[in-house]
């Protein structure tokens, strides 16, 4: 097997790693040892692999790299939320959030450095997309947030949401490979049913998820239930209109039977009227969605949107309830440290 000296060792399958050790004349158990260091013991360097000889560690270093994510800064919210800024091996910064409740310890992870979709209400949308995150960088976020959860709460993560920086379906293969590693017995062994991938709506890739028979849940960031308003705040609606998304979600459900959630941020005097609620109900009834998460808006510096008054939100929720929509008002966590929904932009005090 021809291996580039600079190849990331975590790009290798277990079989390819075995092949490498065969060329060195090493015993077969070395493959399992190294694989455990990479995916279960979370080694950050070959020097960490203390049950290997110095000579073997040196040979690994001659043939491979082991780039790992590191924690660059951490902020703690009054409500217990922890935001971490991570640094990639090539110096990019991304953010992840640990959101604790009594019942759950949830990791919110990023899939891209920046984002290309330019949603008008989202701080990340105002950043340039530098690159996609590699699957092992996504995996490392989960590992580091899990370590935080164990240290602070003495509990492992219970859930993972791809709701951080970037559009997961624009980094399709790396996101799927990361989920595969996170849920593998050779990795973190988490159930894919506890993983939710959130998308602004890329119809073609939602269909692809169906074809790939994924096991995780899907959340669609709807935020407006007619095309004119949705285009105004989410330019990607141009090529992924509501009808196309409804068709794609139905296909996804037909192929997988997996849970679908709608996310809907309320903006004052924009999408918070009873007419807006009726349009949302109409979309909801065309898709086998389990839930609509109504989300309070979290202000960001570069957007002009505001939160609706509480009585308007209550009226909106009551109207959904009267029309038998399974809706939940989701209170944002970590607002005081810019860790809430739509606020991630590498802004650390």
Residues recognised as catalytic:
95, 341
Give the separation between CA 3 and CA 107, rounded to whole angstroms.
Answer: 35
Give the separation between CA 155 and CA 104, rounded to whole angstroms.
Answer: 9
List all residues 6 or more positions away from 347 whose beta carbon is below 8 Å from its beta carbon. 123, 338
Please report the sign of the dihedral spanned by the C-alpha atoms of residue 92, residue 98, residue 99, residue 103: positive
Give the separation between CA 122 and CA 137, rounded to whole angstroms.
Answer: 23
- Under 8 Å between Cβ of 84 and 334: no
Kind of pairing, strands 93-100 and 82-87?
antiparallel
Cα 227-281-235 angle, rounded to 5 deg: 20
- Candidates 344, 341, 335, 343; CA nearest to 77 is 335
List all residues 6 or more positions away from 101 whose beta carbon is below 8 Å from its beta carbon. none
């Amino acid at each position: 097997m021809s291996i580039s000296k600079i190849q990331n060792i975590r790009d290798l399958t277990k079989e390819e790693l075995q092949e490498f050790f065969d060329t060195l004349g090493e015993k077969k158990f070395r493959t399992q040892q190294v694989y455990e260091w990479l995916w279960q013991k979370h080694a950050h360097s070959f020097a960490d692999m203390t049950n290997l000889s110095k000579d073997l560690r040196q040979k690994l270093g001659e043939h491979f790299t082991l780039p790992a994510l590191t924690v660059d800064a951490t902020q703690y919210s009054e409500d217990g939320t922890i935001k971490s800024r991570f640094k990639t091996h090539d110096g990019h910064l991304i953010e992840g959030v640990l959101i604790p409740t009594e019942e759950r310890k949830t990791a919110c992870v990023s899939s891209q450095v920046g984002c290309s979709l330019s949603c008008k209400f989202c701080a990340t949308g105002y950043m340039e997309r530098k690159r996609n995150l590699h699957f092992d960088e996504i995996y490392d976020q989960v590992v580091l947030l899990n370590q935080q959860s164990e240290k602070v709460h003495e509990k492992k993560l219970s859930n993972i949401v791809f709701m951080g920086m970037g559009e997961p379906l624009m980094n399709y293969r790396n996101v799927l490979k990361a989920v595969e590693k996170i849920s593998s017995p050779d990795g973190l062994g988490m159930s894919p049913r506890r993983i939710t991938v959130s998308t602004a709506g890329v119809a073609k890739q939602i269909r692809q998820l169906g074809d790939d028979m994924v096991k995780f849940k899907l959340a669609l960031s709807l935020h407006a239930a007619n095309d004119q308003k949705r285009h105004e705040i989410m330019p990607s609606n141009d090529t992924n209109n509501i009808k196309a998304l409804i068709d794609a979600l139905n296909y996804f459900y037909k192929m997988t039977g997996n849970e679908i959630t709608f996310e809907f941020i309320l903006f004052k005097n924009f999408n918070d009227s009873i007419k807006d609620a009726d349009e949302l109900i109409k979309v909801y009834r065309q898709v086998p969605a389990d839930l609509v998460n109504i989300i309070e808006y979290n202000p960001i510096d570069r957007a002009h949107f505001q939160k609706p008054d509480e009585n308007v939100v209550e009226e909106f929720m009551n109207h959904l309830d009267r029309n038998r929509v399974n809706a939940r008002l989701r209170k944002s966590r970590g607002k005081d440290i810019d860790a809430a929904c739509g606020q991630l932009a590498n802004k650390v005090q």
